[in-house]
């Protein structure tokens, strides 16, 4: 595997191997020395052509814990803001010897364009492309669900996961539907019909317009961010009505199964898709998702760039 562009790039076995590797790396990071020497001397570029805090920092932390050299390249104050094309940016990074480029971009398919073009030869990792995919987020979500709910199984067979909200514009939803279903979970998308894409019937999941009908049956619920600009685009009448039908509040929290967990990829709109007590309550694993994100991204970098080396062989750096 050279690139990670879409969850479709991963077989079930490969996905499980990323989760297993992340688990091992998390254990290693819990030791006295957080840093592994695995990617010493390798150059990783964080190419963030769209604003992001947690994903960029998460990848940066992951790369640094593997001892890679990290170059951050974000749109603000860079040549991208001066109108430089993706092609020219890629060729520049290639000339500087990037072994891998982690790309976040507002255009769907930007990561694949980078990987398929002859503009650069390094690995490409999709850190979110437009409304297409966000594979590392789905992997960290699967990792979190597995840790809490799989009862020792290495996949998610038998679990039911609801993804609630703006599916139409969500790369997190697209990647999660593909990954969670591939890992054996049953996924149900819950949204107003306006926020489900035409063609969603072909996805490997169920569809519901009614959160209350679904809430008691799920093992995990993933709330998606509602972007404020959707208000003016008539996807729903107003924020209040959206919250009433699709927001996660304490009544709905109470209706959930005893062991069920609450997830959110962040950043949250508290009071819109999720209330504060739902976000901060006992079921919430939202902060843990962030921590797991670093382990998953370490695993991705490790598997793409260090190939088949055993983690144990590398040991913990001194």
Partner 1 sequence: MKKGNYLLTGLTLPNGDKSDIAISHGKITEIAANLSAADGFVNVDLAGSIALPGLVDLHTHLREPGKEDAETVLSGSMAAAKGGFVAVSAMANTSPVADTAGVVEQVFALGQSAGFADVFPIGAVTQGLKGENLAEIGAMADSRARVRVFSDDGSCVFDPLVMRRALEYVKKFDGVIAQHAQDPRLTQGAQMNEGEISSRLGLKGWPAVAEEAIIARDILLADHVQSRLHICHLTTAGGVEIIRWAKARGINVTAEVTPHHLLLTDETALSYDPIFKVNPPLRTQKDVEALREGLADGTIDIVATDHAPHPAEAKECEWQEAAFGMLGLESALSIVNQTMVATGLMNWESVADRMSYAPAKIARYGEHGKALTVGAIANITLINPSQIYRVDRDLVASRSRNTPFHGMDLQGAVTATFFRGLPTFLDGKLTSVHKSTSESVGN
User: Known catalytic residues?
Assistant: 54-55, 82, 104, 134
- Closest CB to partner 1 among 73 and 143? 73
Q: Does 74 bind partner 1 (CB under 8 A)?
A: no
* CA 31, chain centre distance (Å): 26
Q: Check residue 276 and report its DSSP letter.
A: H
In whole angstroms, the minimum distance from the beta carbon of 107 to partner 1 comes to: 4
In whole angstroms, the minimum distance from the beta carbon of 181 to partner 1 comes to: 13
- Closest CB to partner 1 among 178 and 279? 178
Q: Does 238 bind partner 1 (CB under 8 A)?
A: no
Q: Does 232 bind partner 1 (CB under 8 A)?
A: no
In whole angstroms, the minimum distance from the beta carbon of 104 to partner 1 comes to: 13
Q: What phi, psi does 109 have (nearest 5°)?
A: 90, 0
Q: Does 104 bind partner 1 (CB under 8 A)?
A: no
Nearest to 102 by CA among 47, 50, 51, 139: 47
> Which among 56-64, 84-92, 248-256, 265-273 is the span making contact with partner 1, rule CB under 8 A?
84-92
Q: Does 129 bind partner 1 (CB under 8 A)?
A: yes
Interface residue with partner 1 among 57, 61, 200, 316 (CB under 8 A) is 200
- Closest CB to partner 1 among 56 and 132? 132
In whole angstroms, the minimum distance from the beta carbon of 117 to partner 1 comes to: 8
Distances (CA, A) of 2 to 101, 104, 121, 301: 11, 18, 10, 10
Q: In whole angstroms, what is the distance from residue 115 CA to residue 247 CA?
A: 38
Q: Contact, 110 vs 50, CB < 8 A?
A: no
Q: In whole angstroms, what is the distance from residue 314 CA to residue 304 CA?
A: 16
Chain positions 148 to 167 lying near partner 1, rule: CB under 8 A, are none
- Closest CB to partner 1 among 135 and 247? 135
**Interface characters, 178-197, with partner 1 (x: CB under 8 A):** -------------------x
Buried b (16+ CB within 10 A) or exposed e, 149-167: bbeeebbbeebbbbbbbbb
Q: In whole angstroms, what is the distance from residue 215 CA to residue 257 CA?
A: 8
Q: Does 110 bind partner 1 (CB under 8 A)?
A: yes
> Which among 57-65, 103-111, 144-152, 280-288 is the span making contact with partner 1, rule CB under 8 A?
103-111
In whole angstroms, the minimum distance from the beta carbon of 48 to partner 1 comes to: 15
Nearest to 70 by CA among 298, 296, 314: 298
Distances (CA, A) of 164 to 25, 191, 218, 287, 308: 31, 6, 12, 19, 37
Nearest to 285 by CA among 147, 192, 171: 147
Q: Does 132 bind partner 1 (CB under 8 A)?
A: yes
Q: Does 130 bind partner 1 (CB under 8 A)?
A: yes
In whole angstroms, the minimum distance from the beta carbon of 234 to partner 1 comes to: 11
The strand pairing partners of 163, in sequence order, are: 189, 222
> Which among 29-37, 123-131, 151-159, 260-268 is the span making contact with partner 1, rule CB under 8 A?
123-131
In whole angstroms, the minimum distance from the beta carbon of 196 to partner 1 comes to: 9
The strand pairing partners of 126, in sequence order, are: 103
Q: In whole angstroms, what is the distance from residue 52 CA to residue 240 CA?
A: 27
Q: Contact, 175 vs 135, CB < 8 A?
A: yes
Q: Contact, 193 vs 159, CB < 8 A?
A: no
Interface residues toward partner 1, by CB under 8 A: 85-87, 105, 107-110, 112-113, 116-117, 129-133, 171, 174, 197-203
């Amino acid at each position: 595997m050279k690139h990670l562009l879409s969850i479709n790039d991963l077989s079930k076995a490969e996905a499980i191997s990323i989760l297993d590797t992340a688990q091992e790396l998390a254990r290693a990071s819990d030791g006295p020395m957080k840093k592994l020497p695995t990617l010493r001397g390798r150059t990783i570029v964080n190419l963030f052509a769209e604003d992001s805090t947690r994903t960029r920092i998460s990848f940066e932390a992951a790369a640094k814990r593997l001892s890679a050299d990290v170059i951050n390249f974000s749109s603000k104050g860079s040549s991208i803001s001066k109108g430089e094309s993706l092609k020219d940016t890629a060729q520049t990074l290639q000339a500087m010897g990037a072994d891998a480029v982690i790309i976040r971009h507002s255009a769907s398919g930007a990561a694949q364009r980078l990987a398929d073009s002859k503009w650069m030869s390094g690995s490409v990792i999709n850190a979110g492309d437009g409304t297409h995919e966000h594979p590392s987020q789905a992997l960290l979500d699967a990792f979190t669900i597995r840790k809490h709910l799989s009862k020792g199984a290495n996949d998610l067979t038998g679990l039911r996961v609801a993804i609630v909200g703006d599916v139409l514009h969500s790369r997190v939803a697209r990647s999660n539907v593909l990954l969670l279903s591939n890992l054996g979970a049953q996924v149900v998308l819950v949204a107003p019909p306006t926020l489900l894409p035409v063609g969603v019937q072909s996805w490997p999941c169920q569809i519901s317009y009614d959160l209350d009908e679904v809430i008691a049956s799920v093992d995990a619920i993933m709330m998606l961010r509602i972007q404020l600009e959707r208000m003016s685009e008539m996807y729903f009448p107003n924020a209040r009505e959206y919250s009433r039908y699709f927001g996660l509040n304490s009544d709905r929290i109470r209706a959930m199964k005893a062991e069920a967990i609450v997830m959110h990829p962040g950043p949250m709109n508290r009071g819109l898709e999720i209330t504060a007590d739902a976000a901060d309550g006992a079921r919430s694993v939202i902060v843990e998702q962030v921590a797991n994100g670093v382990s998953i991204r370490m695993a991705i970098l490790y598997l793409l760039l260090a190939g088949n080396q055993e983690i144990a062989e590398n040991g913990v750096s001194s």
